[in-house]
Amino acid sequence: MRMEGRAAVAAVMLLTCCRCVSALNPSLDINQYAHTAWTVREGFFKGLIYSIAQTPDGYLWLGTGFGLLRFDGVRNVPWPPPGGEALPSSVVRSLRVARDGRLWIGTDEGLASWKDNKLARYPELAGQSVVTLFEDREGTIWAGGQLSSAGRLCAIQSGGAQCYGEDGRFGRNVTSLYEDSGGNLWTGTRTGLWRWKPGPPTNHPTPDAPFALIEGDNGGLWIAMHTGIWKFDYGRVEPYPLPGVGRSLTSLLRDRSGGLWIGTQDRGLLHVHQGRTDVFARTDGLSGDHIEGLFEDREGNIWVATRDGLDRFRDFAAVTISEKQGLSSGQVLSVLAALDGSVWLGTVDGLTRWNDGQIAVYRKRASGLPDDDVESLFQDDRGRVWVSTLHGLAYIENGRFIPVSALPEGSIWPITGDSAGNLWISQDRGLFRLLGAQIVEQIPWARLGHEDFAYALSPDPAQGGLWLGFVKGGVTSFKDGKVGQSYAVADGLGQGQVTDLQLDLDGTLWASTQGGLSRIRNGRVTTLTSKNGLPCDAVHSMMEDDDHSVWLYTACGLVRIARTELDGWASDPQWTPHLTVFDSSDGVRSTPIITGYSPQVAKTGDGKLWFLPGDGVSVIDPRHLPFNKLPPPVHIEQITADRKKYQTSSHLRLPPLIRDLEIDYTALSLVAPEKIRFRVKLEGRDPDWKDVGNERKAFYNDLPPRNYRFRVAA
């Protein structure tokens, strides 16, 4: 409908799903989580962040020394109180979101709250520094802090406040508040720990002021103080040393998975989980070593406020196990899933066996391994694990390494076995066939029509013989001493190295090449490339999961394709299959080349896939991927017309002949907000939806007077 002299804009929000989690994996160390830091030095914040909270609309709120900030995971915006009002002070010390959605704001000079775009102030707390806020199970808001030189505790109900502490019982300050599972309200003060209700208040002296309180693992109350962790139980306060925790503590947080997070004054962040403690400090990338506050948002992200910035920790889809978790070396050259459920890793500094988190390392000096530089691995039908090194080949039997002396020294690339009990080995000098640990045949590469060697081997159980993929390209079959079928780029094979071969039960052969994933079936070759939607052409390896989705480790990420999608492409090579790409934001490190040792990917009995990123071994569980089941709230934040800002509403009326219209919007998932994709449409102007990527602004020029509706989908 056209309006005389004015343009009307209606805002509509559409929601779709985004990727996120509900709680962090409790078995991981801090360095195995995804970490992002925003620092004061980089100009993202003006100064110190004291407190963090999240309102029901999804925004994160940051209390700082320069006011209150609203953060959507990408942009932080100073929050101006409505109607020209002001907070009691620009120094925001504490924040708390009540169950009714009201945001409580504790400042250096008093208390305020905000809901439904209305700001309330509480004169009973005027001049009080509010450093801690808590809502008890009855809905009472408790505010603790300092007025003049006396600690003060106030209860706010029905808009009024009742305060305690003028008699000096709390000393100079009230420092912490907590309600335990039994309904007891506790407060930490300069005079010790107080049980405030129910019943008459009782004081329990402590050696220092309790800066944080939390319920312990086996009952009782844990207390964080400068002197370390103490425990209150059965009326007594006693030291409760946790392994690796130490002194000078500032904050405590128990996450939904049961992990304990501890902030320190000078050592960064501590994480106590499954009986061990790990540390993440400035040297690891933390924004600062002095922790001011900890917070867990509704999607399970852990937020850390330091004196130098803000940090976020979240789960990766792919978790990397490195030297910090006990590997003998981060340079892992091969990975083998054994029949007993263990995982063997060939590294440049020994052979590592991983079994349900327990690690055993085998080296030359103690175990008889031919060399510490372990290359390729293979397990035969008898369950023996074969280990190749630069200086020899051996297999493990009854816990001992048995050397195979007949094989000449040199790098061994892939190893495989056939149904006849033969072991096939690709080496610089040729293709070797072993039977009973004895060489029975050595085949020069020239006999196979190649000057280069094979990077990939695959037995053909149905037809017999062997398939080989070569380092300079090409795929060849070999059976009964004769070369059979051969495929090259001219036949449609992907160009460059062939790094992996996988044979389906129906006889379809898949070749991972530098030029794409090639499918060989009944003499016909088709290749899936970036033209069909792959993020890049170079495919390193292929593995099928227990749900029959195919996973490709490529030079630019990990790709998942449902088998039905792959079959659709096989029927029509011009078709683009739907696929999911996991990149660095999901914990997948891209690597342009691989070593040629094998295996490069493995699947364990629990369905997890293991692959080699170059700095350890990465693991992804296809059945437990961190996808959000809740839609992210989408908000239109602001409309600017010819440089004048307008509050958003469903029927906004703008002046006529607007030349420049700017609409700011956002979607509130804090897991990986940089990956949220938007589509926008201004009905009355845009003929169709526009994909704008991660852009959070829409611009329009020279809009004629009429009705418009702006729609955004995330």
Round the average pLDDT of the chain to a whole number and report it. 91
Q: With contact defined as beta carbons under 8 Å apart, do 586 and 316 qualify?
A: yes
Q: What is the pLDDT of residues 473-508, one digit of tens each?
A: 999 999 999 999 999 999 999 999 999 999 999 999
Strand 7-14 to 707-713 pairing: parallel
The letter for the amino acid at 332 is V
The letter for the amino acid at 357 is G
The full set of domain ranges for the chain reads: 7-15+630-713, 30-315, 321-620
Q: What is the CA radius of gyration of the chain?
A: 32
Q: Options 2.60.40.1080, 3.40.605.10, 1.10.1660.10, 2.130.10.10; which CATH number does 30-315 get?
A: 2.130.10.10
Q: What is the pLDDT of residues 5-43, one digit of tens each?
A: 333 344 443 433 334 446 788 889 999 999 999 999 888
> Which DSSP state fits 139?
S
Q: With contact defined as beta carbons under 8 Å apart, do 525 and 519 qualify?
A: yes
pLDDT of residue 654: 85
| The residue to which tokens 């509706």 are assigned | 709
Which range, of 58-62, 330-334, 643-647, averages the lowest pLDDT?
A: 643-647
Return the CATH architecture of domain 321-620.
Answer: 7 Propeller (2.130)
**If you count DSSP H runs as helices and E runs as strands, how many of each does the chain have, helices first?**
2, 65
Q: With contact defined as beta carbons under 8 Å apart, do 293 and 50 qualify?
A: yes
What three-state secondary structure class fits 490? Answer: helix
Q: Six-digit token pair at 684? A: 């009355």
* The domain over range 7-15+630-713 is classified in CATH as 3.40.50.1950: no
Confidence of residue 628 (pLDDT cuts 50, 70, 90): low
Confidence of residue 656 (pLDDT cuts 50, 70, 90): confident
pLDDT of residue 87: 97
More confident residue, 242 or 450: 450
Confidence of residue 579 (pLDDT cuts 50, 70, 90): very high
Average pLDDT over residues 676-685: 88
Same fold for the pair 7-15+630-713 and 30-315: no
Q: Six-digit token pair at 559? A: 């790709």
Q: How many CB atoms lie within 10 A of CB 241?
A: 12
What three-state secondary structure class fits 494? Answer: coil
Average pLDDT over residues 47-54: 95
Confidence of residue 411 (pLDDT cuts 50, 70, 90): confident
CA 408 from centroid of its chain's CA atoms: 45
b/e burial code for range 77-108 (CB count within 10 A of at least 16 → b): eebebeeeeebbbebbbbbbbbeeebbbbbbb
